[in-house]
Amino acid sequence: MSSMSCSRVNLSMMSSRTLLHPRMRIRSGGSRCSSSVSGSSSSSSTVSLTSRPPASTASNDDPILLRAARGERTERAPAWMMRQAGRYQAVYRKLAEKHPSFRTRSETPELIVEISLQPFESFRPDGVILFSDILTPLPAVGIPFEIDNEVGPVLEKTIRSKDDMSMMHDIDLSKVSFTGEALTTLRGHLDGTGATLLGFVGSPFTLGTYIVEGQTSRLYKTVKTMALTEPTLLLDMLDKLAVAVAEYACFQIEAGAQVIQIFDSWGGQLPPTMWESISKPSIVKTINLIKEKHPDVPLTLYANGSGGLLERIASTGVNCVGVDWTVDMADAAKRLPADKSMQGNVDPVVLFADENSIEAAVKDCVKKAQSNGPRGHVLNLGHGVIVGTPEEAVATFFAASKETFYDK
Distance of CA 282 to the CA centre of its chain: 19
- C-alpha 322/C-alpha 270 separation (Å) is 17
pTM value is 0.88
Go through the chain and tell me how many residues it has: 408
**DSSP secondary structure code for residue 275 in this structure:** I
Assess contact for 103 and 149: CB atoms under 8 A.
no
Instruction: Write out the chain's pLDDT in tens, 408 residues.
Output: 333 333 333 333 333 344 555 444 323 233 333 333 333 344 566 665 433 333 333 467 899 999 999 999 899 999 999 999 999 999 999 999 999 999 999 999 999 999 999 999 999 999 999 999 999 999 999 999 999 877 889 998 999 999 999 999 999 999 999 999 999 999 999 999 999 999 999 999 999 999 999 998 888 999 999 999 999 999 999 999 999 999 999 999 999 999 999 999 999 999 999 999 999 999 999 999 999 999 999 999 999 998 999 999 999 999 999 999 999 999 999 999 999 999 999 999 999 999 999 999 999 999 999 999 999 999 999 999 999 999 999 999 999 999 999 986
Question: Measuring CA to CA, which residue among 217, 73, 203, 223 is closest to residue 159?
Answer: 223
Amino acid at 85: A
Identify any residues that bridge with 215 across adjacent strands, giving them in sequence order.
Answer: 154
Residues 118, 90: Cα–Cα separation, whole Å: 10
Cα gap 384→112, rounded to integer Å: 18
